[in-house]
Amino acid sequence: MFEAQPSTPWHRSSLLKIAGVIALGLVAVAGFYKFYGHRWFDTDTAHYDALEQHRAAQQQQSEAPPPVAATPIVAPEAATPTASVDPAAAGAPTQPPVTGTAASAQPVGSNTSQPANATPASEANHPTVKTAAGRNYWTNFRGPNRDGRYDEMAVKTNWPAGGLKQLWKQPVGLGFSSFVVADGVAYTIEQRRKQEVVTAYNVETGRELWAHGWDAQFTDTTGDGPRATPTWHEGRIYAQGATGELRCLDAKTGKLVWRRDIMGENGAEVLQWGMAGSPLIVDDKVVVMPGGGGGKSVVAYHKLTGAPVWKSQGDRASYTSPMLVTLAGRRQVLIVSANRTLALAPEDGALLWSHTWDTSMGINVSQPIMLDPNHFFISAGYGKGASLVEVQAAGGKFNTRALWENINLKSKFNSPVYHNGHVYGLDEGILTCVDAQTGERKWKGGRYGYGQLLAASGHLIVLTDAGEVVLVKADPAAYTEVTKFAALRGKTWNVPAIAGGRLLVRNDTEMACYSLTE
């Protein structure tokens, strides 16, 4: 009964412990490599080599463009607090430039250590997408209203068994930017070696039309490269890099119009995960969110010259993008900062109202959603949840109040969409439907990770964090996944874009275009 039990020899016990530690280590390494490994073990060299070889081959296979000067990748230059402007490109009278050094240009391929291949845009390779509305549609981050809704035309919802028709797929530089589309061209911003590069692609063929870059390299364990999506407006591209470089470019050629260092000149610090706000065009201004103190949190520059117009508030920036909305009968710029939502007058940046929205560590990433002229929905992760906020005007002032707040939808770094009285979003990676008026959860199902989603034709188009495209019915009665297919390989956190019935998707490895109409 009390006999001593045979013990495991000390050397065997130690070996078993060591083997266990090694096994756990291998599991951890495998998990790390799944999302980040290729970024750390080869320092992206192989990826950039393949990207450059692909673009070179692409240019050789394409028809030769008309004999005009090649569009350059911009040579590096020191940041300056004042705008560097090309008056002719800006549409302003020719005059001596304002203080600051304009970016010098170098021909494509002259920098052999950081090669890039670009060709000038021409009418031959720069077709116009035929849209139902006869106008450019997806020219902003997450669509015309920045709300993730696609209403330009009806899209196909009975997808083939193998997935949507693929028009093209090709490598792309690092980064979390999405696309905007105008005149048959898709624009994004990507990391190519030690430069952030704004690029233009033919939507139908994927052929690169031009590239414009500058020295900047944001690195982070979650992924390297630019975060913000460019904005297209009246023939110009407004692009912001992860470290706060803001540039206005000619959309057809990539030529620099003007530039600003929004962080340096506003005394702001780059956020932990990089600057992610997409520039917003309002009237004659471009509004950005550097997050500087002392009245320099939100800044408006003149869209043609880059000259400062107004600066406002002192909030630390968030990872959201400003929105132009009408609430309580007043046109206003809706801002989500690190700890509140607020609205500014587009004319002069005056504060119209403020509503507290504190989150863990001041992390706000999800875009607010307009529900009607007096209400908007907002959500955040890290245990915060969601809320329906009402804005009313009385006596020349605005008042706000939360009609409800709960934890039924916690959008971490993906933004939800609104359809027929209900909000659909990823609650810490699981697709969820809530009643917008009450906050009641209707259903929760579909583990899509930290992907992104859009609303189109009564359905949700979900791009999962593993690169699958999923079609789900936007129906509060039940969660119904219609179909899905593998669109990209690897971690995918980028927001998809739709224009002219074309679905554009990308991550930090590859990009692709699929038809939603055939």
Q: What is the DSSP string of 285-322?
A: EEEE---BTTTBSEEEEETTT--EEEEE--PPP-S---
The amino acid at residue 441 is R
pLDDT at 374: 98
Residue 189: CB atoms within 10 A of its CB come to 28
Distance CA 409, CA 426 (A): 7
Q: Which of 2-16, 116-130, 279-293, 482-496 has the lowest mean pLDDT?
A: 116-130
For 279-323, what is each residue's pLDDT tens digit? 999 999 999 999 999 999 999 999 999 999 999 999 999 999 999
Cα dihedral 37/41/44/46 (nearest 10)? -110
Q: Are 185 and 201 in contact (CB under 8 A)?
A: yes
Distance CA 337, CA 406 (A): 20
Q: What token pair was written down for 95?
A: 């005059």
How would CATH label the architecture of 35-94+102-166+175-319?
Answer: Beta Barrel (2.40)
Q: Is the pLDDT of residue 85 over 80?
A: no
Mean pLDDT of 146-153: 98
SS3 89: helix
Q: Which of 52-56, 79-83, 182-186, 455-459 has the lowest mean pLDDT?
A: 79-83
Q: What token pair was written down for 320?
A: 């959201």
For 444-486, what is each residue's pLDDT tens digit? 999 999 999 999 999 999 999 999 999 999 999 999 999 999 9
Q: Is 351 left (phi over 0), alpha (psi -120 to 50) or beta?
A: beta
Mean of the per-residue pLDDT values of the chain: 85
For 371-390, what is each residue's pLDDT tens digit? 999 999 999 999 999 999 99
DSSP β-ladder status, 452-456 and 149-150: parallel
Q: Structural domain boundaries of the chain?
A: 35-94+102-166+175-319
Comparing CA positions, the residue from 487, 462, 464 lying closest to residue 472 is: 462
Rounded to 5 degrees, φ, ψ at 358 are -80, 135
From the number of C-beta atoms within 10 Å of its C-beta (0-12, 13-18, 19+), residue 1 rates as exposed
The residues, ordered by sequence, that sit 6+ positions from 209 with a Cβ below 8 Å of its Cβ are 118, 119, 120, 121, 125, 126, 185, 200, 201, 202
Residue 221: CB atoms within 10 A of its CB come to 11
DSSP for residue 9: P
Q: Is the pLDDT of residue 490 over 60?
A: yes
> Which pTM does this prediction carry?
0.83
